[in-house]
Amino acid sequence: MTDAQRDDVIDATRNWLEKAVIGLNLCPFAKAVHVKRQIRYVVSAASTDHELLDDLVRELKHLAAADPADIETTLLIHPLALSDFLDFNDFLDVADAALDELDLAGEIQVASFHPGYQFAGTQPDDIENYTNRSPYPILHLLREESIDRAMVAFPDAAQIFEKNIDTLTRLGHDGWAKLDVGPRPAPGASRSRTAKD
- Report H helices in 72-114: 85-101
Tell me the percentage of the chain whose pLDDT exceeds 90: 84
Identify any residues that bridge with 42 across adjacent strands, giving them in sequence order: 76
**Contact (CB, 8 A) for 119 and 125:** no
- Domain-embedded: residue 190: no
Residue 197 within a domain: no
Q: How many residues does the structure list for the chain?
A: 197
Number of domains in the chain: 1
Residue 166's contacts (CB-CB under 8 Å, 6 or more residues apart) are none
Q: Walk across the sheet containing 73-77 and list its strands.
A: 39-43, 73-77, 138-143, 108-113
Report yes or no: 146 and 166 within 8 Å, Cβ to Cβ.
no
| Domain ranges, residue 147 | 3-179
Query: pLDDT at position 196, please?
Result: 37
The pLDDT value given to residue 155: 63
Percent of the chain residues topping a pLDDT of 70 = 93
Q: Is residue 68 part of a domain?
A: yes
**CA angle centred on 113, ends 1 and 125, rounded to 5°:** 115
Q: Confirm whether 145 is domain-assigned.
A: yes
Backbone angles phi, psi at 177, to 5 degrees: -60, -35
In a domain, 186, yes or no: no
> What is the pTM assigned to this prediction?
0.92
pLDDT in tens, 72-128: 999 999 999 999 999 999 999 999 999 999 999 999 999 999 999 999 999 999 999
* Collapsed DSSP state (helix, strand, coil) of residue 125: coil
Structure letter (DSSP) for residue 155: T
Is 65 a domain residue? yes
Which region holds residue 25: left if phi is over 0, alpha if psi is between -120 and 50, else beta? left
